[in-house]
Amino acid sequence: MTNSTPRLTGRALRLTVFVGESDQYQHKPVYTEIVHRAHRAGLAGASVFKGIEGFGASSLVHTQRLLSLSEDLPVAVVIVDTEERVRAFLPELDELVDKGLVLLDDCEVVTYTGRERDA
């Protein structure tokens, strides 16, 4: 892993991993483990988005609405980096994602800038 912010512009690959909010890996949320492994792998970045309603392979609708509280809302982890780096990261998901959906999309990075770290 490098300490400098990677430069990323042009053609890239977007990795999106859909899991349930309650999915666990060694007593931690799967989405948290994915983010931390992506960080250790030196990928350009990872973000987690919590869904308010959805269903997947189980066909059960999970929702945030007050009258039907769910403890397993959909969560999407999105990672964008070069195709080579994203594909090299895929084996990490084999261990982590036993229920879910993993997608790869070609994309184009127009702007990728970060904040300066406080000294």
Give the tens place of pLDDT for each residue, 26-35: 999 999 999 9
Percent of the chain clearing pLDDT 90 (strictly above): 61
Q: What is the mean pLDDT of residues 37-42?
A: 97
What is the per-residue pLDDT for 78? 98
| pLDDT at residue 109 is higher than 60 | yes
Question: Judging by beta carbons within 10 Å of its beta carbon (0-12, 13-18, 19+), is residue 74 exposed, middle or buried?
Answer: buried
pTM above 0.85, yes or no: no
Least confident of 60-64, 69-73, 93-97, 107-111: 60-64
Quick check: 21 and 29 in contact, CB under 8 A?
yes
